[in-house]
Amino acid sequence: MATKNTILPILTLFSMFLPLAISIDFNYPAVFNFGDSNSDTGELTVGLGFFLDPPNGQNYFKTSTGRFCDGRLIIDFLMDEMDLPFLNAYLDSIGLPNFRKGCNFAAAGSTIRPSTPTSVSPFSFGVQVAQFLRFKSRVLELLPKGKKLVKYLPEEDYFEKGLYMFDIGQNDLAGAFYSKSLDQILASIPAILVEFETGIQKLYDQGARNFWIHNTGPLGCLPQNVAKFGTDPSQLDELGCVSQHNQASKLFNLQLHALCRKLQGQFSDANVTYVDIFTIKYNLIANYSRYGFEQPIMACCGFGGPPLNYDSRVSCGQTKILNGTSVTAKGCPDSTEYVSWDGIHYTEAANQYVSSQILTGKYSDPPFSDKMPFLLNLKF
């Protein structure tokens, strides 16, 4: 789409004139990722043993890969720009997964706080950190046993030199709205971030020194939340997003940013980078037509038609009997026109836009524009 292709050279030129920073070096040998569906490359599907129905994966991979998307995620674009392969899910045992350049522990539905019997995912942040500790221990045990394994496993110093990425927290907030008031949710944020800090501290104690932390996006703009909590127009903002959900996102992000600042001072020998995903995504929804999109909130793959094309009873790709009639949540003809893929997750086109904005460096604290040589040669 012309409008999307033209913005990238502009971003490239803009990046040349950003102020220099002394933050981080993006020449990482490996990436270890923790999170939820925003960066899950197959962990939940293999972990729970289910198949994610087409048309998920239809655009780039041409098949379902366990990603809740029509194609690539933000992490896929970032890995590509760092000249690193897409990350394999930690639990994926089929197809000779290669973990030499990193490993992905992110699982859709995961929360920072411990999971409960009703949680979508049992792989909460604490479990993901524990999986990493097991992964590292096993790697260090296997490395001395022969050269055949080396090409599949990270070298020992990769655990110190690697980049640790985090995109988690939205499910702690979004899920809470089904049973708690806004005040209760806001009051719970400090405890959520204590849990997050505990996990970060464990990784630091294991030698992690490069931390890349995404804040949470505008939850109130997800069609799922608009459908459930936005039936009263007075609850919506000027963009048609649920105000209370975005208020919770903003307060969470404010406190997460403060935690990152604290860690920047506390871990004097580490790099802690906070990335403002909320601003990037909200700007996309507010100015969608400027970036070549036609639908800022309506889901591409769903059921029910305008204005949201979202029905919580029928997930993308599924066929269900509703009121005696068989219905299917189908994909739209051109997902590049949509910001939302399935009412909860973003399309590949939207993920591409978000990635291009991340790579300008201006949405990060500290900024990092001078540390990313690939900025001058964006591949997407």
Task: Please give the positions annotated as active site.
Answer: 37, 342, 345
* Kind plus residue range of the DSSP H or E element containing 296: strand 295-299
Strands 210-214 and 102-104: unpaired
Burial 97-106 (b: 16+ CB within 10 A, else e): bebbbbbbbb
Nearest of 42, 29, 149 to residue 90 by alpha carbon: 42
User: CA 362, CA 15: separation in Å to the nearest integer?
Assistant: 9
CB 131 within 8 A of CB 90: yes
Q: How close are the terminal C-alpha atoms of the chain, in Å? A: 12
CB 302 within 8 A of CB 310: yes
CB 73 within 8 A of CB 43: no
Strands 271-275 and 210-214: parallel
Cα angle, residue 247 at apex, residues 245 and 249 outer, rounded to 5°: 70
Strands 271-275 and 102-104: unpaired
- Identify the residue whose tokens are 């690697």: 162
